[in-house]
Structure 1
Amino acid sequence: MKDNNQLDCVLCSDTGYVNVVVAVPLTTLFTYRVPRSLRGQLTRGKRVLVPFGRKQIIGICWDVMTTLPASVPQKQQIKDILTVLDEQPLVDAAYLQWLEFAADYYATPLGQVLSQAIPSLYLDVQKIGKEHSYKYKPINFSHDFSTKDVVLTNEQNLVYQSLAGHLDEYYPVLLRGVTGSGKTEVYIRVIKTVLQQNKSALFLVPEIGLTPQMLARLNHHFAGSLLVYHSSLTQNQRLSQWQSCLDERPQVLVGTRSALFAPFKNLGVIIVDEEHDHSYKQEERFRYQARNLAVSRARILKIPVIMGSATPSLETYYQVINNKYHLYELHARSGGASLPDIRVIHFGKEREQRKTPLCLSQHIHDAIEHFHKKKKQMLIYVGQRGFAQSAYCASCATIQICPNCSVGLKYHKEGRVLKCHYCDFAKPYDGVCAACHVKGLTLLGFGTQSVADEIGAMHPRVVLTRLDSDAVSNERELRRIFNDFAKHKIDLIVGTQMISKGHDFDNIGFVGILGIDAHLGLPDFRASERSFQNLVQVAGRAGRSDQKGHVLVQSLMPEHPSVQWGIRQDYQKFAQHELALRQALGYPPFSRLVQFRFLSAQEQRLKNFLCEWKTFLDGVTCRTNQLDLQILGPAEMPVAKVRGKYRHHVILKIRRGLKVGDLVAYLRDDLDRRKLRGIQYQIDVDAVGMV
């Protein structure tokens, strides 16, 4: 990696060779000769057209050199670059350094990282010269939400004033504020100051946090300078926003994790809202954690990065404890509102006493009736979508399993189908067991559909709607629901995590929480953290006005620490308890986890290979201090089959501070040498999804 003195683009008329990165999943750079006709035109970050095998492809000029690198064999035939495609570098040298860091940290081929960072249009040979000749529908920022300027509280202003004094340096910040404390208002003030300095701002939000209400607030302050980037946009709309970031005028880009790769050349601040959210982790192809890459980009650019949350990830909080990040806190809700009153219901005992077949506790039904009479709006959070979580056959004591995945099928009342939430397999529900062919399946568990049906039947005067990925398939429908809720046309929303973040409605008097402890039965060391975060975040939607909100948590494990600390909204006590457990077991943040996943449609072939590879892994373990490295597995993954492929994994538990890249590269090179047939492997550094 180049030092800071080499970051400026190099322009050299004597340049004879260049290293080029192409968008293929290979770990090597490719060296080309620069013909005399092109010398003087090359700088780092420009696109070039090069021969690659029997075809021509587009790559990015990575290094410029006057002599052939020593790593290139003297007898190797060096091909010429065909042409230079850009007058100015598409991305600058600091951006390239950041991509190089990302590839090294996440043990991912640089070409694969490039594919994530650069829109495919810029790497398509067929589209050369057509980068700006496409059509797209303008992005609509219109909304029906009322917006107004807000005067900062003394607490907010103190935080803002301190942050404003560090805008010219790398300054990583955790802004921990209780739900409703006005973190967004602090962000907005910081962004305004950055724009006044003729710099741009990048504002990252989780997918479910990018709501019409959030966009309305930002557009109120930054109309004309606001850009947006998320998965609901068309490909051409996303391309238009990416290209706008090439403009050096001050702008604000708000978007989900992929917006992190926007090619700003005058970036002044990065904000990561709800930094704990698991949607910042990409689980396919280039598997990166956007929060961590935001920190590394800020460090390279020497700018502040602000990570905000009411329930910070333990990894981030651990950096504060170790004085790596600066902690700022907002203890009070803005506008004089108080935190909601939260109570927990032991639903197991209630069901046993009342012998009730209902999904909801009678206490929640009573609360719905009470708050509806007071003309207060309500949210009911349900941890899973669908109508029932399994279809059980008493005759052969089995549940109905997906033929492509080793998971149970969920019953969806709409369409009367059994559906797999992993591969979307679906079949009509006829009540007949697929294993023993006896009719008489019993539906077990609940989801958003059954909860909404029960509330509708017991409270017919309550106007309710459902908010989950089955009920809402596009942004227009989502916008309509939130607009109607803001206008009090809807009394109650039943939803999944889609209702948990980014919403600020001042008339919500009651929140009911169901299934918050569903994660606790999973073989996942982060299960307690997720349950605590979900509880506090969902509960925080209540009582954002001068009247106190009320929350009921329906739980089968009410004594669990994540539930107990959650209802007390005591993050510090929960973090202290959970960090002690993690340290005792050697889990992150006290170590780093690297997961090697192996997938194959042929189960026996996969098992035979892993039995052989285990011998190799045992040799690696013998040569390593066991305090530095533990290798767990190979073992079958908890969900052992998905989309017709069997799944096993090996987990490396590596002491924090030990260099991970060399070890991962050593194992990856060994796998590549074996030329596996019928077996696919994936590497996930700082793995999150272990199931």
Structure 2
Amino acid sequence: MILDVAFPVPLRRTFYYSEPPGAAIQPGTRVLAPFGASRRVGVVVGRLEEKDADLTGFATLKTVEAALDPFPLLGPETMAFCRWMAARWDAPLGSAIGLFTVPGKDFPLPPPEDGGAGILPPPPPEGLDALADSLLDPAAPPGPALIAGLHSRERDAFYAHVLARASAGGQALLLLPDLALAASLIGRLRGLLPEGAITLWHSRLTPKQRREAWTGAWSGRARIVAGTRSALFLPFRNLSFALMDSEEDDLYKQEEQEPRFHTRDALLKLVELRGARAALAGLMPAVESRIKGGHHAAWRPGTLRLLERPALLSDPPPPRVELVNLNATPGVISEPMLAGLREAVAAGGKALLVVNRRGVSLREICAKCGWTKRCRRCEIPMATVPGPGGDGLQFLCKGCGIKDPFNGVCPACGGRLFRDKGVGTQKLAGAARRELPSVPVHVFDGDLVRASLNRTMDALEEFARPGPAILVSTRLALRGHDFPALALAGFADADYDLSPEDFRSSEEVFRMFVAAADCLDPAGPRRLIIQTRQPGHHAFERARQWDPAAFAADEEVSRRTFAYPPFVYLLRINFSSFDRRALDEALRDMDARLEEACGPGSQALGPVERPPAAGRKRLSAYFIVKMPPDSLAGPAGDKVRAMRLPAGVELGLEADPYTFR
């Protein structure tokens, strides 16, 4: 017999090997095989008779050295799931299989366990018992559900109740977008569930912890597993229910390496193959999800059951939203914002100031000649941040982390007057300290998190102590944190995240407002102050009216009119070259052939040229192809890669891209 083996390498093909004499290695089994000049662990994806294999070009076949498992670790559903992922996101099959990481080659597999009777569920939050029943009751309609509007203050108790109930019928999975958020949420869940009820899975586990978690999922011993997106690829023996927290978070999209999957779509396919139930939960779900769940009398494949959180008498009133037009009232902290801060702290309350940019400013520009500092490695403009010990300023590259001193003198013209462009957390915090010198001002951003987790926790704990205080943060503070006595949330530069190139940017901005309102004290004045230079933008106008439903309807009309997800599936095709003539030739040729290659119903837009970075000679451009919504990118990618390109032109494909800036 011939074995078809996939390896976790960036090659879009599998490899034939002879089966060792007397062996009968089944698909889904890990094997050790010679690979080039080395040996690698791969997974058998098929068995063929010699007459059925195309051995053209093979003088002899290498033989698999050994099977590493007594039986397949990846079952038929898992193998089908990997093939679907490879096709959906145009990835090598070996890369998709490699997501199902096995912690080591040689360790004993524990016997299966039935897990007992499950975990005694704590009571659900008041008024949400019917919502829990609609997820788990055997008589509930089929299909995955979308839970909209669940508040952060009731989320912990609701999740604990639902996960414990689900564990009675099998294993339950809780997916979280971010490790920092996972730590705080899981800590609170552990206080609501029996000791040892939750098994963790994330990238910072020790090898021993990873092996224990993996074998717990494999054996069925782990009844509730909570983790980041990689937890989706654990070998659950009996997965009965999966719950995805904050399903709208863009951290669920993997863009660093292949396959560039979205966890939401992958989860829905996996539970479909395994016959499990699933629920996506979000305070304000993604527009794509809401559209899939909003217009169907009955569930059908590809849609969601929309479950709106019921309105309760105990719900807080909507926030009071004020728009500040920075064209008429300029300043890092405008007069209306400053008045709101003074009012909040004078009453003993707290305020949150949000700017989605770290550091002091986006860049320093010489007022005399226009010079701006660029990174010597990345060639991108460098931001300014406080110097060592808080003394002065220094340049920081947000791409690679290089720091350079800033002496206040322009090296191009000798000028000493600089204009700073943009507002960062440090600059905003400095302005708050100058205007309100008696009020403690704390900073919570990515720079602090990377520098020290202890300092991060200290800053949050100090802000939470009784008494007036101000927290300056990026949108990190809006990810599920509970701040007592928060009277005001202000946005210093709400326009920063709006982009005409990104059709999701309005949604991201409005979602920050909804998350900030959820952080406000239910018994407080509940004020949102938004500084903008575009007060007529529909995201700001709907925020002023506080009408999230109308905003979602606006977005749906826009997506349908201009054909954006979920009404289409996007494929970005990138071209780059040092040769302008060769790149132009490739773009002209592709412009006429892409729609045919991507199949019926496809529409190619572009090309769009990206300006080269200063000092860089490589030129680049891309096409966006809009395909029918259930398309698989893999077949289209194979046809595009088969096209002949001029010498010196490189091609790259991104299925379902999320970054457009």
- Quick check: TM above 0.5? yes
Residue 36 in 1 paired to residue 21 in 2? Answer: yes
Name whichever of 404-413 and 619-628 sits farther off: 619-628
> Which residue identity does 1:118 align to in structure 2?
T
Secondary structure of 1:611's match? helix
> Which residue identity does 1:79 align to in structure 2?
K
Residue 161 in 1 paired to residue 138 in 2? Answer: no
Alignment of 1:510-521 (within 5 A): 510-521=488-499
1:83/1:403 CA distance change after superposition, 3 Å: same
> Which residue identity does 2:286 align to in structure 1?
S
Match of 1:534 in 2: 512
Could you tell me how far apart the structure 1 residues matched to 2:161 and 2:190 are?
Answer: 14
Residue 294 in 1 paired to residue 267 in 2? Answer: yes
Cα distance, 1:484 vs structure 2: 3.9
Match of 2:7 in 1: 22
Match of 2:91 in 1: 108
CA contact (8 A) 1:242 1:262 kept: yes
Alignment of 1:410-489 (within 5 A): 410-415=383-388, 416-473=393-450, 474-488=452-466
Could you tell me how far apart the structure 2 residues matched to 1:565 and 1:414 are?
Answer: 40
Secondary structure of 2:52's match? coil
Cα distance, 1:227 vs structure 2: 2.2
Cα distance, 1:370 vs structure 2: 2.3
Match of 2:370 in 1: 397
Could you tell me how far apart the structure 2 residues matched to 1:457 and 1:70 are?
Answer: 75
CA contact (8 A) 1:364 1:512 kept: yes
Name whichever of 70-79 and 530-539 sits farther off: 70-79
Could you tell me how far apart the structure 2 residues matched to 1:491 and 1:161 are?
Answer: 41
Name whichever of 222-231 and 622-631 sits farther off: 622-631
1:477/1:275 CA distance change after superposition, 3 Å: same
> Which residue identity does 2:419 align to in structure 1?
T
Cα distance, 1:482 vs structure 2: 3.5
Q: Say which of 467, 475, 486 aligns to 1:497.
A: 475
TM-score by length of 1: 0.84
Cα distance, 1:329 vs structure 2: 0.5
CA contact (8 A) 1:208 1:501 kept: no
Could you tell me how far apart the structure 1 residues matched to 2:618 and 2:215 are?
Answer: 39
Alignment of 1:69-84 (within 5 A): 69-73=52-56, 77-84=60-67
Residue 346 in 1 paired to residue 331 in 2? Answer: no
Residue 262 in 1 paired to residue 234 in 2? Answer: yes
Residue 194 in 1 paired to residue 166 in 2? Answer: yes
Match of 1:683 in 2: 653
Name whichever of 482-491 and 199-208 sits farther off: 482-491
Could you tell me how far apart the structure 2 residues matched to 1:448 and 1:622 are?
Answer: 45
Residue 604 in 1 paired to residue 578 in 2? Answer: yes
Residue 204 in 1 paired to residue 175 in 2? Answer: yes
Cα distance, 1:411 vs structure 2: 1.2
Alignment of 1:54-69 (within 5 A): 54-65=37-48, 68-69=51-52
Could you tell me how far apart the structure 1 residues matched to 2:44 and 2:598 are?
Answer: 41
> Which residue identity does 1:63 align to in structure 2?
G
1:327/1:639 CA distance change after superposition, 3 Å: farther
Could you tell me how far apart the structure 1 residues matched to 2:164 and 2:150 are?
Answer: 23
CA offsets 1:309-329 (integer angstroms, 9 cap, x no match) = 122212112212453110000
Could you tell me how far apart the structure 2 residues matched to 1:588 and 1:193 are?
Answer: 34
CA contact (8 A) 2:199 2:222 kept: no
Match of 1:226 in 2: 198
1:195/1:622 CA distance change after superposition, 3 Å: closer
CA offsets 1:83-128 (integer angstroms, 9 cap, x no match) = 1112243333222221111111000001122333325x54xxxxx4
Could you tell me how far apart the structure 2 residues matched to 1:489 and 1:240 are?
Answer: 44
Name whichever of 266-275 and 482-491 sits farther off: 482-491
Could you tell me how far apart the structure 1 residues matched to 2:420 and 2:57 are?
Answer: 70
Secondary structure of 2:237's match? coil
1:657/1:682 CA distance change after superposition, 3 Å: same
Secondary structure of 1:114's match? helix
Cα distance, 1:516 vs structure 2: 2.0
Q: Say which of 541, 551, 555 aligns to 1:574.
A: 551
Could you tell me how far apart the structure 2 residues matched to 1:587 and 1:259 are?
Answer: 29
Q: Percent identity?
A: 24
Match of 1:374 in 2: 347
CA contact (8 A) 1:167 1:304 kept: no
Name whichever of 165-174 and 104-113 sits farther off: 165-174
- RMSD over equivalenced CA pairs, Å: 3.1
Q: Say which of 311, 321, 326 aligns to 2:305.
A: 326
Name whichever of 636-645 and 612-621 sits farther off: 636-645
Could you tell me how far apart the structure 1 residues matched to 2:363 and 2:245 are?
Answer: 35
Alignment of 1:641-660 (within 5 A): 647-657=620-630, 660=633
Cα distance, 1:372 vs structure 2: 2.1
Match of 2:610 in 1: 637
Q: Say which of 264, 267, 283 aligns to 2:255.
A: 283
Structure 1 residues without counterparts, runs of 5 or longer: 1-15, 123-127, 133-147, 352-357
> Which residue identity does 2:509 align to in structure 1?
S
1:462/1:230 CA distance change after superposition, 3 Å: farther
Q: Say which of 568, 589, 600 aligns to 2:566.
A: 589
CA contact (8 A) 1:209 1:502 kept: no
Structure 2 residues without counterparts, runs of 5 or longer: 110-120, 297-302
CA offsets 1:317-365 (integer angstroms, 9 cap, x no match) = 22124531100001437954333322222232112xxxxxx41122222
Secondary structure of 1:518's match? coil
Match of 2:184 in 1: 213
Cα distance, 1:646 vs structure 2: 5.2
Match of 2:30 in 1: 47
CA contact (8 A) 1:418 1:427 kept: yes
Could you tell me how far apart the structure 2 residues matched to 1:58 and 1:466 are?
Answer: 46
Could you tell me how far apart the structure 2 residues matched to 1:309 and 1:639 are?
Answer: 38
CA contact (8 A) 1:177 1:183 kept: no
Could you tell me how far apart the structure 2 residues matched to 1:641 and 1:91 are?
Answer: 48
Report how many residues are paired: 637
Could you tell me how far apart the structure 1 residues matched to 2:513 and 2:329 are?
Answer: 21
Could you tell me how far apart the structure 1 residues matched to 2:215 and 2:420 are?
Answer: 51
1:36/1:271 CA distance change after superposition, 3 Å: same
Match of 1:246 in 2: 218
